[in-house]
């Protein structure tokens, strides 16, 4: 039951994000692609100089390519999720294996902040060799943190904290 709630949240987020991503791609094809291509080329140059993977490029690829995502998660992954059987939904630790994992979409569009339901904002906190993608709902109980670490100059999802109810 606990995993079903987590899977439901991930699927809901996936469907919502995939619709927005298709709209964004249409906008880029209509004439906004030039600036984005230049920005990506600049990011690639910066990545080549430092040797470290750019987190923004990584997260886009991580969110859209299932095989890449499965390569970049340190399985089995320990996660903290609410205990559905506990009256107060106290957090509990679970381990998710490679074959139990559902595709996670962490792309973000600012319209998620103003839509009529399930509003949330997403931010990234950077450390020296870490990044935390924070998702915070607005008066709706959405709350999640996804912890990434830079290992051998590549980003990996190492754990997550899901406290949505």
Is residue 104 over pLDDT 70? yes
Q: Above 60 in pLDDT, residue 70?
A: yes
pLDDT of residue 89: 75
pLDDT of residue 49: 57
For the chain, the farthest-separated pair of C-alpha atoms sits apart, in whole angstroms, at 53
φ, ψ for residue 96 (rounded to 5)? -115, 130
pLDDT at 51: 81
Does pLDDT of 21 surpass 80?
no
Percent of the chain past pLDDT 90, that is, above it, reads 55
Which whole number is the average pLDDT over 14-31?
A: 40
Q: Mean of the pLDDT values across residues 77-106?
A: 88
Q: Which of 19 and 100 is assigned the larger pLDDT?
A: 100
Please give the mean pLDDT across all residues of the chain: 77
Predicted local confidence at residue 122, as pLDDT: 95
List, in sequence order, the alpha helices (H) in the chain.
Answer: 2-27, 33-50, 55-64, 66-71
- Asked if the model's pLDDT at residue 32 lies above 80, the reply is no
The position carrying tokens 């949505």 is: 164
Q: What are the residue boundaries of the structural domains of the chain, listed by start?
A: 2-162
pLDDT at 22: 43
Query: Rg of the chain's alpha carbons, rounded to an integer?
Result: 17
d(CA 141, CA 21) in angstroms, rounded, equals: 24
Cα–Cα distance, 162 to 135 (Å, whole number)? 9
Q: CA nearest 74: which of 154, 133, 159?
A: 159
pLDDT at residue 142 in the model: 93
DSSP 54: P
C-alpha to C-alpha distance for 136 and 126, rounded to whole angstroms: 17
CB contact at 8 A, 96 and 107: no
Q: What's the CATH number for 2-162?
A: 3.10.450
């Amino acid at each position: 039951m606990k995993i079903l709630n987590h899977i439901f949240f991930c699927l809901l987020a996936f469907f919502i994000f995939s619709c927005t991503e298709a709209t964004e791609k249409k906008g880029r094809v209509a004439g906004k692609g030039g600036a984005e291509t230049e920005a990506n080329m600049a990011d690639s140059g910066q990545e080549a100089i430092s040797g470290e993977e750019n987190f923004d490029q990584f997260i886009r690829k991580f969110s859209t390519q299932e095989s890449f995502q499965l390569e970049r998660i340190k399985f089995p992954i320990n996660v903290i999720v609410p205990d559905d059987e506990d009256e107060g939904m106290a957090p509990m630790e679970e381990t998710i294996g490679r074959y139990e994992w559902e595709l996670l979409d962490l792309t973000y569009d600012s319209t998620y902040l103003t839509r009529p339901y399930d509003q949330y904002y997403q931010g990234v906190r950077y450390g020296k060799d870490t990044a935390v993608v924070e998702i915070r709902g607005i008066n709706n109980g959405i709350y999640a943190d996804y912890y990434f670490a830079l290992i051998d100059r590549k980003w990996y999802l190492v754990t997550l904290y899901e406290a949505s109810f």
